Structure 1
């Protein structure tokens, strides 16, 4: 059964800004509150503030970036968040763009797949309560934390292309996608997840798709909403490659062209409530286990109250 969750549709500048969205999750049919990487307020601390304020809801990080923290710190943050909220946590990780890796580390990972494999191996071992003895090319750790059992932390990996999806199949509990059309998930990502899981002799990871959504309105151009929320992503080579693989026309010199292709492919889902329900059903049939509603475009152009009202309408429609 596919569940529906909510992405925090902005980067909070103060921790109390997250509370209306956390309240929506707590009092609706939404399964989980997600937040991507933030360089303003650290996501684990934002979620902890919400829990301390009385909104103890399941949460997910989709995704935090590996160059920012050692795997031991990553495991400790995720476990602490699970204990604080009292709920399972999806701890999603990703290597980030090559330009970010170079900015933080001095040089990009020569092999992002190797770096991710090492990172998830260490984090997964620590979260499983194992003594970790790993000497890697990028990450090393020799320690046994001896943590007591707590709410489960699911190990997540951001995936856009088949090689990373196969690695998620081998190592992750949850594969997390962003801006990926349903057909691409069905034809490319899900088969790669199954291939990786089969090779490792383990269950296929859950698939959580972060899907940008908006209700239609006479004064709205969906392509403007795409650009308001995703212009940074559309400028990145790895996102452009994924979109090309999914059949979308990509013009690096004119992001409006790419945004229109995103809308046409239903990688950005818009329409009246019935049209949204039908489009999101395609993600269900593609094999998505958790659809994360991303209404960032609406929030950026029309404000949080409008975005929250739309989320309530969409959640009622899709979870009825």
Structure 2
């Protein structure tokens, strides 16, 4: 008889597009009151996540926070390091700052042209952030970032620097330079068979420990009147049209069709990317991520949150978090 595999640590994604910093408070309170590890956000386009987190800390909700992921073209690494340090000092907790390059269309819209090498850009971004956070002088004249300066040294809780990882090349880079690799819409079998080996190879090449693996996972309990495909569409309609996500899903063996999002949506459910069902089904799916080498799962209930109120969403999150209360 074998022991039942443990669940990964469970965290929470802010499931709404906040229009006021008060909208952060119920979910920061949830983290404060439950076993949730951390409150994460994606890349908000209405208000800055760091400001929302700082507002919540000022209201007394000093909890661990993270970004999964902030898009690097929106800021210089000098500003990113300053924000990360400020959050660590404000919350009093370790901060996870995950960054990603975004797609070429996004890069062109902000920078005038897409990056020739997103890998080089993200390497320079993370290296600059790390050296600034360490308090030392930075002397970099890179292809994408130039910085000759420093921010000074001060004591603060640790800032972990993460990379958004979808494909093997970025996974290898995460192994070389990042503290955390953050995945989105990635099947557990693909994490185990493709991404983690690439991370380990990158870490070995750089002579450093492999990064922690954090996976954002769409979840919802089976309830009357719910259509799981509709919930998944509300959460990931844009991702299921983006070329880099479709390429990742193709590599992972998930059927896709640019003209019919339902084909990819059904494949995501079958691959365990969207966990939908009763608590036992969700627990089994979460164990699959632990077995794939995932250290922490970010529970994403955005789809459900678009069809129900904040209180119902909080109640559903509590029910899912209870699955991991005994690990």
TM norm structure 1: 0.98
Please give the per-residue CA displacement for 1:134-178, whole angstroms capped at 9, x wherever unaligned: 110111111122221211000111000000000000000000011
Please give the per-residue CA displacement for 1:34-64, whole angstroms capped at 9, x wherever unaligned: 0111110100001001100110000001111
Answer whether contact 2:9 2:324 (CA < 8 A) is retained: no
Report the Cα distance in structure 2 between the residues aligned to 1:160 and 1:175, rounded to whole angstroms. 9
Counterpart position of 1:62: 68
Counterpart position of 2:296: 290
In the TM superposition, 1:95-134 aligns within 5 A as 95-134=101-140
Q: Are residues 1:219 and 2:213 paired?
A: no
User: Which structure 2 segments of 5+ residues have no match?
Assistant: 1-5
Q: Are residues 1:173 and 2:207 paired?
A: no
Identify the match of residue 317 of structure 2 among 311, 314, 318: 311
In the TM superposition, 1:151-162 aligns within 5 A as 151-162=157-168
Identify the match of residue 241 of structure 1 among 247, 258, 268: 247
User: 1:252 offset after TM fit, Å?
Assistant: 0.6
Counterpart position of 2:285: 279
Report the Cα distance in structure 2 between the residues aligned to 1:248 and 1:319, rounded to whole angstroms. 32
Answer whether contact 1:298 1:306 (CA < 8 A) is retained: no
Report the Cα distance in structure 2 between the residues aligned to 1:169 and 1:288, rounded to whole angstroms. 14
Report the Cα distance in structure 2 between the residues aligned to 1:271 and 1:73, rounded to whole angstroms. 42
User: 1:300 offset after TM fit, Å?
Assistant: 1.1
Identify the match of residue 202 of structure 1 among 203, 208, 228: 208
What is the RMSD of the two structures over their aligned residues, measured on CA atoms? 1.0
Counterpart position of 1:8: 14
Answer whether contact 2:185 2:217 (CA < 8 A) is retained: yes
Aligned length: 320
Report the Cα distance in structure 2 between the residues aligned to 1:240 and 1:10, rounded to whole angstroms. 24
Answer whether contact 2:65 2:96 (CA < 8 A) is retained: yes
Counterpart position of 2:191: 185
Report the Cα distance in structure 2 between the residues aligned to 1:243 and 1:223, rounded to whole angstroms. 17
Q: What SS does the aligned partner of 1:108 have? A: coil
Report the Cα distance in structure 2 between the residues aligned to 1:233 and 1:304, rounded to whole angstroms. 24
Counterpart position of 2:169: 163
Report the Cα distance in structure 2 between the residues aligned to 1:243 and 1:279, rounded to whole angstroms. 18
Please give the per-residue CA displacement for 1:233-289, whole angstroms capped at 9, x wherever unaligned: 111100111111111111111112211111111111111001100110000010001
Report the Cα distance in structure 2 between the residues aligned to 1:80 and 1:218, rounded to whole angstroms. 44
Q: What SS does the aligned partner of 2:237 have? A: helix
Q: Are residues 1:268 and 2:274 paired?
A: yes
User: Which structure 1 segments of 5+ residues have no match?
Assistant: none
Report the Cα distance in structure 1 between the residues aligned to 2:280 and 2:190, rounded to whole angstroms. 23
Report the Cα distance in structure 1 between the residues aligned to 2:77 and 2:95, rounded to whole angstroms. 16
User: 1:121 offset after TM fit, Å?
Assistant: 0.9
Counterpart position of 1:28: 34
TM norm structure 2: 0.96
In the TM superposition, 1:75-114 aligns within 5 A as 75-114=81-120
Please give the per-residue CA displacement for 1:66-125, whole angstroms capped at 9, x wherever unaligned: 111111001000100110101110011111111100000000001111111111111111
